[in-house]
Amino acid sequence: MDQMNKVYWKISDYIQSIKDIKELDPIIKDLTRYSDKDIFQRIKNEIIIEDDWITFTESKIKYVEAAVFENRQFIREEGEVLPIERIRKVSPSSVSHLAKHSDYIEKYTEGEDITPSKLYTVNKDTDYGVYENKFIYLLLLTLSDFIFRIREDVMSSVKGENGVFQIRRRNEILGDDIELSLRLEFRNATLEEKLTEHEAKKLTRMEALRERVGALLATPLMQIVSKEPVISSNITKTNVLTMNENFSNSLELYEYLLNYDKKCYHVNKVTEVVPISSSLAFPMLGLELLVSLLKESKTDDYEIKKNEIIADEKKKAIDELSKRIDKIKEKYQADPSSYVAILEDKINLLESENMQMQVLRDNLDKIVLVKEGLDKDNKALRMDIDNLLSKLRDLEARLKDVNASEDLIRTQYEDKLKEKNKEIEELKEALEKKTNELQEALIQKQNAISKTDKLKEDLSNERKKYDELKRTSDLEIESKDKEINELLDFKRLNEGRFKGIQAMAGEINSENAETSKEAFDELENEYNAFTSYYEEVWKKTKKEIIKEIKRKKG
């Protein structure tokens, strides 16, 4: 840029030197007049970045970060029986295994420790290369490549931006009719300067996503997974990928990127045409004059005209010198010989001053040499400084990535801590609520138990009353049954007597007797009643007979 500035300054000085020539004023005025053929044309590519994928990715990247910080792992346990000397840690499984293999016990004394000769130990191996972690790594690589391709595509479209500076003029200079046509084309590949403020914000969001992806890829977990074989793009939807919130949202993002077939940006070509004013056209004046002079230099009479111009300039110089000499004569009031002596003194003084100047020039040359050496040293130092600055920028970039990674990790852990604290508070509230509910339920249950005990007591009292009433009722029923049975027996006995009397009277016999089942059953009951009556009477009669016999013998 410094060299270009120097060129610009030289050209400006050149143009200004032309403007200072008064004789050229009419020509300059004619050359700087406006022409509608003089145009400044610029073709600009306006880039419109589609941000639907940015918005979707921003909504899902937090789940990807959370999935990374879950640190999913597979713990592989391998057990083996080793001599007791090689055992470093005793686990519950070691004790359980020893209980099943008492033959490993070498020494056992009641009340003392057991000393086994061998012991079962479990080696736990942690494996972070699980399928879900490999999927997250594939997603991060896909997203990083997606962002890189979009940026490269946008950059390639910027390279197509161009501008045109065009002048067409026709002027008469020094008697020549000169037609000048100039066309300059330029390109610019700087991306940030060619975006509108709105689109630049989208680019900033893209860069923020790229940095977050880079920070995730730099985490220890992803560094471990990067050494594992990359899985196929045809993802197997495991239970974790479909049921876990973080991994299911990450899967949605992966499928979104994989199926995204739109162009992420489009370009609108805008052409601007600006007329060139006389002030803008003036810098081209020197070029037109130069063309005219070059044309003149090729004519046959160029040397003659050149000599005439030189002779006129010498004549003007001699006339100027004569005028100066006349002024000196008038000033010093001396003749030519005296003036010559004065001039010799002046010349001697000038030679003395010239010698001093020569010494100063020599010293200046030495200073210039020293300066050149210093310039070389400065250049070398600048190169060293540039190298150091480049390394410093690299270190700053790496530090920025590390800080971003640390900030991301810190943010994730703080978020996790907040979530866990929130969950703890929610659990506390739920526990307090459940405790209160249980206490209320316990009180209600105790009240119900009290009521139940009261009901049991009342029921017991009622039961006792019922049992007493039942016992009384049973006794009464039993008494009534006895009376009824006695009445029935008496009734059957009387009926039997009546039938006996009828039979003795000849009123009933086997021929006219009723033979139905009911009649026979009734007859059998009467017979049984009579038999029972007979046996009781017989018992009493026997007692009376025995008493009478005993009385007579006595």
**Is 393 domain-assigned?**
yes
**Does some domain include residue 3?**
no
Four-residue CA torsion sign, 133, 139, 141, 143: negative
Tell me if 254 sits within 8 A of 177, measured CB to CB: no
Highest-scoring range by mean pLDDT, 85-89, 130-134, 426-430, 538-542: 130-134
pLDDT at 200 over 60: yes
Same domain, residue pair 291 and 425:
no
- Please identify, among 431, 451, 471, the residue that sits at the C-terminal boundary of a domain: 471
Last residue of a domain, one of 437, 471, 505: 471
**CA dihedral of residues 387, 391, 396, 400 (deg, nearest 10):** 140
- Domain membership flag for residue 22: no
pLDDT (tens digit per residue) in 481-522: 777 777 777 776 677 666 666 666 666 666 666 667 777 777
Q: Are residues 278 and 149 in the same domain?
A: yes
Task: With respect to residue 455, please indicate whether it lies within any of the assigned structural domains.
Answer: yes
Same structural domain for residues 410 and 347?
yes
157 and 222 share one domain: yes
Residue 99 belongs to domain spanning: 74-127
Residues 206 and 274 both lie in one domain:
yes
Residues 538 and 391 in one domain: no
The most confident of 249-263, 414-428, 534-548, by mean pLDDT? 249-263
**Above 70 in pLDDT, residue 163?**
no
Domain-embedded: residue 151: yes
pLDDT of 28 over the 70 cut: no
* 3 state DSSP class of 107: strand
State how far the alpha carbon of 296 is from the alpha carbons of 21, 72, 230, 467, in Å: 19, 87, 76, 153
> What is the pTM for the complete model shown?
0.41
pLDDT over 60 at 171, yes or no: yes
Rounded mean pLDDT of 21-50?
67
- At 352-403, the pLDDT tens digits run 767 777 777 677 667 667 666 666 766 667 776 766 776 677 667 666 766 6
Is 319 inside a domain boundary?
no
Lowest mean pLDDT among 130-134, 171-175, 425-429: 171-175
Alpha helices in 506-516 (DSSP H): none
Q: Report the largest interatomic distance among the alpha carbons of the chain, rounded to a whole angstrom.
A: 232
Q: Which residue's entry shows tokens 């003089």? A: 38
* Pair (111, 134) in one structural domain: no
* In contact, 119 and 94? CB cutoff 8 Å: yes
Question: How far apart are the C-alpha atoms of 278 and 136, rounded to whole Å?
Answer: 64
| Partner residues linked to 45 by β-bridges | 269
Domain shared by 123 and 137, yes or no = no
Confidence band, pLDDT 50/70/90 cuts, at residue 56: very high
* Residue 193 three-state SS: helix
Tell me, yes or no, whether 52 and 98 share the same domain: no
The chain-wide mean pLDDT, for the chain, equals: 72
Q: What is the mean pLDDT of residues 157-175?
A: 61
Q: Which of 471, 502, 533 is the last residue of a domain?
A: 471
SS3 state of residue 371:
helix
Number of domains in the chain: 4
Strand partners for 266: 48
Mean pLDDT of 88-103: 72
| Residue at 450 is within a domain | yes
Q: Are 122 and 78 in contact (CB under 8 A)?
A: yes
Token output for 108? 């056992």
What the block records as the tokens of 145 is: 């490549």
Which residue pairs from 93-99 have beta carbons closer than 8 angstroms and sit at least 24 positions apart in sequence? 93/120, 93/122, 94/119, 94/120, 94/121, 94/122
Look at 150 and 270; give whichever has higher pLDDT. Answer: 150
* Mean pLDDT (whole number) for 132-145: 90
Check whether residue 140 and residue 224 sit in a common domain.
yes
Stronger pLDDT, 250 or 462, i.e. the higher one: 250
| pLDDT tens string 3-17 | 666 666 776 676 667
Domain co-membership, 381 together with 437: yes
Per-residue pLDDT reduced to its tens digit, 513-548 = 666 777 777 777 777 777 777 777 778 887 887 877
What torsion do the CA atoms of 28, 29, 34, 37 make, to the nearest 10 degrees? -40
Decide: helix, strand or coil at residue 40.
strand
High-pLDDT (> 90) share of the chain, %? 4
Residue 81 reports pLDDT greater than 70: yes
Question: Two tokens at 453?
Answer: 């005990």
Kindly state whether residues 202 and 188 are assigned to the same domain: yes
| pLDDT value of residue 222 | 86
Question: Model confidence at 113, in pLDDT bands (50, 70, 90)?
Answer: low
Let me know if residue 316 belongs to a domain: no
Please tell me the distance from the alpha carbon of residue 180 to that of residue 182, in angstroms, as a whole number. 7
